[in-house]
Chain A
Amino acid sequence: GAGVSQTPSNKVTEKGKYVELRCDPISGHTALYWYRQSLGQGPEFLIYFQGTGAADDSGLPNDRFFAVRPEGSVSTLKIQRTERGDSAVYLCASSAWGGGAYNEQFFGPGTRLTVL
């Protein structure tokens, strides 16, 4: 009974580098969400997938951030030209159906990204 998994658990990179963060949702969950949690803050929504398509990407802060979910399962969050302000914990969640907010989102443990 695997939950949502995220890899790596920790990522340290240098300013200007490219990083990829991976999320494996719960098997069968069609909806997948990415959130970003900065130190001392609550999670902030980044993007939501229903199947393979991004249904809402209004939370992506700028065009350096991009996410894909090519087969409707695993998702990758990609950050180009990283900046120190990108340092945060990136959370992934999945839910059984994306039709309403009452469908529980199950969260992974997060990837802690540190940009030096």
Chain B
Amino acid sequence: AQSVTQLGSHVSVSEGALVLLRCNYSSSVPPYLFWYVQYPNQGLQLLLKYTSAATLVKGINGFEAEFKKSETSFHLTKPSAHMSDAAEYFCAVGGQGAQKLVFGQGTRLTINP
């Protein structure tokens, strides 16, 4: 079985500050890990993915995430927040050969001017 826990349903940062969104996973098989972003009234958009290659993964819009097996974590970071980053962020896990994704409950990111 696989599961995802996102710590913090709501994160608020100032524009220009570091963004850190936390994700911990549980998986009985080597995981594939994903971060998706959802803007209001839009579909989910893939930010980045980990598929057992490099543990530090760079994505779109300046985001990156690091896979830490010992901590079962896949936290999302961005050095400097921009107002346009305000959205809902979802961490998800999938397994090799498994087609479905298991999502966390999401973290709403608010950027303060």
Contact = CB atoms under 8 A, between A and B. Distances in A.
Given A42-B106, A101-B99, 9 more contacts: A4-B43, A33-B100, A35-B101, A40-B106, A42-B104, A45-B102, A48-B100, A105-B46, A106-B46
The 6 A-B pairs with the shortest beta carbon distances in the complex, nearest first, are A101-B94, A42-B103, A107-B43, A45-B100, A107-B44, A102-B51
A101 B32 contact: yes
B100 A56 contact: yes
Nearest to B100: A45
B100 A31 contact: no
B101 A45 contact: yes
B82 interface: no
Interface residues of B, number: 28
A98 B90 contact: no
Contacts of B99: 31, 33, 48, 50, 55-56, 98, 101
A1 interface: no
Q: In this complex, which of B98, B101, B106 has the most chain A Cβ atoms within 10 angstroms of its Cβ?
A: B101
B98 A101 contact: yes
Interface of B: 4, 6, 9, 32, 36, 41-46, 49, 51, 90, 92, 94-106
A109 B43 contact: yes
If over half of A's interface residues share one DSSP class (helix, strand or loop), that class is named, otherwise mixed; here it is: loop
Contact of A59 (B6, B49, B100): B100
Interface of A: 3-4, 31, 33, 35, 40-45, 48, 50, 55-56, 58-59, 91, 93, 98-102, 104-110
A99 B32 CA distance: 13
A63 B99 CA distance: 22
A95 to B, nearest CB: 8
- Greatest chain A CB density within 10 A among B44, B46, B95, B105 is at B44
Contacts of B104: 42
Contacts of B101: 35, 43, 45, 101, 105
A40 B105 contact: yes
Contacts of A3: 43
B46 A104 contact: yes
